[in-house]
Amino acid sequence: MDEIVKYPDVFLRHKSKEVEFPLDDKTERLIKWMIKQMYKNYGIGLAAIQVGYERRIFVMDSTRAGQSPEVFINPVIVGHSDESLTDFEGCLSAPGKRGEVRRYLRIILKYQDEKGEKHTKTFYNLAARCVQHEMDHLEGKLCIDYEKGEYSRDKHKSQTMVESDFRAKSDT
């Protein structure tokens, strides 16, 4: 069975919801599952919406080492560099496709960890790009919606959408 929600599933367009603390068992299991899926699929980041849960959570390991997964809950970008760079991005939810996306080179992220503790952290280059990519997932955006670096509403609207079984998973 395919465990990652794939484009053109309309579920990926949902806006994810805030997570409440303390985390319940289900959410703790979800986070472990997300880390497992990220490594299994050779991704450097994965958002909860990609495994069927519309929660404001993403996991990341931009070192690709497979040993230091980080968990970000209720993340918010609170600052960024002036400089940005346009580059191609792929997504586990859109295999075989890529988007040309302009991202800030440095971003400052506020988030909570699994215990609900608040953190503020600065990310650079690939990690900054990955965070911005995952933040898009939380808003129902995909890297393939971008055109020549910029987010394109027209491109998004012209894309096909289908519904799948993943739809109801969050509410069970």
**Is 134 known to be catalytic?**
yes
What is the gyration radius of the CA atoms in the chain, in angstroms?
A: 15
| Closest approach of Zn ion to the CB of residue 18, in Å | 20
Nearer to Zn ion by Cβ, of 73 and 143: the residue is 143
Structure tokens at 101: 């996306």
109 is an interface residue for Zn ion by CB under 5 A: no
130 is an interface residue for Zn ion by CB under 5 A: no
Structure tokens at 70: 């980080």
| Closest approach of Zn ion to the CB of residue 120, in Å | 24
Q: Classify the C-alpha dihedral 6-8-10-14 as positive or negative.
A: positive
Nearer to Zn ion by Cβ, of 48 and 91: the residue is 91
Interface pick for Zn ion out of 91, 107, 130, 144 (rule CB under 5 A): 91
81 three-class SS: coil
101 is an interface residue for Zn ion by CB under 5 A: no
Nearer to Zn ion by Cβ, of 6 and 106: the residue is 6
74 Cβ contact list (under 8 Å, min separation 6)? 18, 19, 56, 111, 112
- Residues forming the active site: 134
